[in-house]
Amino acid sequence: MKGIFISYRREDTSGFARSLYQSLENHFGAGQVFMDVEGIELGLDFVEALDKSLANCQVLLVMIGKDWAICQDDAGNRRLDDPNDFVRMEVASALQRSDVRVIPVRVRGAAMPRTDELPEDLQALTRRQALELRHDSWNADVKILIDAVEGIVGPAASRQEPSPQESSPPPAPTRTAKAGGLLTKVLAVAGGVLLVLLAIPTAFAVDRFRRFVPRWRWLNWIIVAAAPILGWSVFATIYYGTPLPNPAYAKLWTGIPQTALWTQGLWYVV
C-alpha cells in the first residue's frame, strides 16, 4: 500500500520533488512513496495507475512553485484550466476524499495561489495549511514534514519490513573472540614498540659496520627511516588484519571478510 503521493509539475518543481521523494523514501522505505513514473511499472496504463495510487494514498503532497498555477501547454493554454490535466486530476481527486490529507508544500519562495486563480474543484486547496521547504533550511523543513506525515501514516518502522541486514544485529563475540581480541591488542602494541626499539641499536650496529665497509653507510639511514613504517605494518597486520591503515574497523573478530579489510585499507591510503 502506497501511503504518500507527491504531486508536482516537471517544469515547475521537478528537482525539489525528486529530492523530497528521496528523503521520504529513505525514511519510510521503498514502496511507501509514489511520484508519477517512479512508481509505475512499464506497460501499465498511466491514468489507471495514478487513480489506483491516489485511492491507496493517505497523504497527498502538492508541490507548489512560482509557476504552478500559470504553467501553460504547447498551445499557450493554462494547464490548470484543462479538466484532463494530470496535476489537476490528482489534487481534485484527493480533495474530494475525506481519508486523504492534502498538504500544500511551497518551494522556490512561492506563495499559495488565491482562490480566484484556481478552478472550482481546486479552490479548497487554498484552505489547507501549507509548509514551505526553504533551500537554506531544507533538512530541517523536511524533518518537520516527515514528523507531520508520520502522525498520519504512522511511524516508519511500523510501515516497512526491514531487510535481514538491517534488522539483524552483528553476532555477539564469543568468549574466545574477546580473549583473542585482547591478546591481539597487547601483542600488536608490544610488537610495534619492540620493532621501533630494535631499530635504534640496529642502526648503531650498522653505523659501526660502515666504518669498515664505507659503501654501506646509507643502510643505517634506511633502517631508521623505515622503522616507523615497519612498526606500523606489524601493528596493523595483527590489529586490523592488514598492514594497510584501516581505522574504519579498528579491530578483528568482526566477521568482516579479509578482502574487505584490504580493500578499505587501500582506499584509505589512496
> pLDDT, tens digit, for every residue of 9-67?
988 888 889 899 999 988 988 788 887 655 567 787 777 777 777 778 899 999 999 99
CA nearest to 149, candidates 51, 39, 33: 33
Mean pLDDT, range 234-248, rounded to an integer = 60
Distance of alpha carbon 52 from alpha carbon 96, whole angstroms:
15
Phi/psi of residue 8, each to 5°?
-160, 165
| Domain spanning 4-165, CATH architecture | 3-Layer(aba) Sandwich (3.40)
The band of 251, judged by pLDDT with boundaries at 50, 70 and 90, is very low
Does the model's pTM come out above 0.75?
no
**What pLDDT digit, counting tens, does each position of 97-141 carry?**
888 999 999 998 899 999 999 999 999 999 999 999 998 889 999
Delimiting residues of CATH 3.40.50.10140 domain(s) in the chain? 4-165
Task: Return the higher-pLDDT residue of 177 and 228.
Answer: 228
Residues in the chain, overall count = 270
Q: Which residues contact 113 (CB under 8 A, 6 or more apart)?
A: 64, 68, 69, 125, 126
**What pLDDT digit, counting tens, does each position of 155-190 carry?**
765 444 444 333 333 344 444 444 445 555 565 566
* Least-confidence region, from 14-18, 80-84, 252-256: 252-256
